[in-house]
Amino acid sequence: MTISFILNGEDVVVRSDANVRLVDILRVNFGLLETKAGCLTGKCGFCAVIFNGSVSHACLIPAFRLKDSEIITIEGFSQTDEYQDIMAGFAGAKLESCGYCTTSKILNAGALLERIKRPSRQEILYAFSGIKCRCTDPEKLVEGIERTVELRQRRIYGRSA
Ligand code: FES
Ligand code: FES
């Protein structure tokens, strides 16, 4: 089948069998190798992408669901100011990270802050509850997001809220 969708802000078309996984399409057809194939069962978060505004596992999205969708991968998100804010916020909070689920954490942070400009501690913990991270202290994650909010505020308005 031929499928049109938006990938990192660009209209794209791909020919694929209906059940090919998005993670494979991204890697094979578009060379987006930062979306990695790990467990292929929705558990590890290696393959996280933003799919129609929500963080999703690209290993669980078959090609037929891509029609007219919008996908943002970590490669696309890394071109944004929001990505820079998150990286600086996480670095400021000294988040421990082995890299295993870093993409998932960054994209979750981006999607959360897109939905809620100044999330509460509860909202932050809830947003990250689906990531089974062995490295990052949840309190550090909260601090990292709060720092990100402040940095974004300063970038946009030149001051803290
Ligand atoms: S490869 Fe592990 S969640 Fe997709
Ligand atoms: S960064 Fe190590 S498991 Fe999440």
CATH of residue 146's domain is 1.10.150.120
Domain boundary among the residues 47, 74, 101 is at 74
Q: What is the mean pLDDT of residues 33-37?
A: 90
**Best residue among 21, 49, 57 to mutate for probing ligand 1, ranked by most atoms within 8 Å of CB:** 57
Same domain membership, residue 90 and residue 48: no
Output the CA torsion 86→146→45→27 (10° steps): -20
Is residue 157's pLDDT more than 90?
Answer: no
What range defines the domain where residue 127 resides?
81-157
Same domain membership, residue 47 and residue 13: yes
**Best residue among 59, 100, 131 to mutate for probing ligand 1, ranked by most atoms within 8 Å of CB:** 59
pLDDT in tens, 82-136: 999 999 999 999 998 888 888 989 999 999 999 999 999 999 999 988 787 888 8
Same domain membership, residue 98 and residue 53: no
Q: Which residues contact 114 (CB under 8 A, 6 or more apart)?
A: 53, 82
Closest CA to 102 of 68, 71, 78, 70: 78
Q: Which atom of ligand 1 is nearest to the CA of 44?
A: 2
Q: How many domains does the chain divide into?
A: 2
Same domain membership, residue 88 and residue 64: no
> Does the predicted model carry a pTM greater than 0.85?
yes
At 159, phi and psi to the nearest 5? -160, 165
**Alpha carbons 11 and 148: distance in angstroms, whole number:** 30
| pLDDT bracket for residue 160 (50, 70, 90) | low
pLDDT in tens, 80-97: 999 999 999 999 999 988
